[in-house]
Homo-oligomer: A and B are copies of this chain.
Amino acid sequence: MSARESSLDTVQRELTAFARRARAAAARMHPELSLVAYTILAHLEEQQGCRATDLAAYYLLDKSTVSRQVASLEQLGFIERRVDEADHRVQVLHLAPGGIEILTAARARRQESIQVRLAAWDPEDLERFARYLVRYNADAAVHP
């Protein structure tokens, strides 16, 4: 096996292992907010004015799944749905005050956890790791 194949193999294996643990880890960190819910709220914070269809496309979810998640998040008072005036089929999603609050709390707990976990990392390693992850996800979006 070449060095390149070996690296690819490692990347695949480690990412798979990570993905497998992520859901349970998220549930432990913030039981009140599932990984999907957390992700949607974080996405809405980044990109104010998101449509449900965009979320479905980005996270590879069925539109019905997103529809239910959104309905649930709205009922909990975490997000608001505003009908787009230009296109009455579209609902534009926004964070509600309650959503901002719980997102902030959940993220703080996640950050605390990751800070402990990566405390021993050099700043350069951390920065490079972050860049690699961004690049990987960008590549994954192009070659799904």
Contacts and interface: CB of A to CB of B under 8 A. Distances in A.
Interface of A: 3-4, 6-26, 28, 35-36, 38-39, 42, 59-61, 107, 110-111, 113-118, 120-121, 123, 125-137, 139-140, 142-144
A115 B136 CA distance: 12
30 contacts: A3-B123, A7-B129, A8-B115, A8-B118, A10-B131, A10-B134, A11-B118, A12-B110, A14-B130, A14-B133, A15-B133, A16-B35, A18-B137, A19-B19, A19-B35, A20-B35, A21-B59, A21-B60, A21-B140, A22-B22, A25-B60, A28-B60, A28-B144, A117-B142, A117-B143, A120-B139, A128-B132, A129-B129, A129-B132, A129-B136
Going nearest first, the 7 A-B pairs with the smallest beta carbon separation are A19-B22, A14-B133, A24-B60, A10-B130, A7-B126, A129-B132, A7-B130
Copies in the assembly, this chain: 2
Given A117-B143, A118-B136, A132-B125, A19 B11 contact: no
Given A4-B126, A132-B128, A18 B15 contact: yes
Contact of A11 (B20, B22, B114): B114
A46 to B, nearest CB: 8
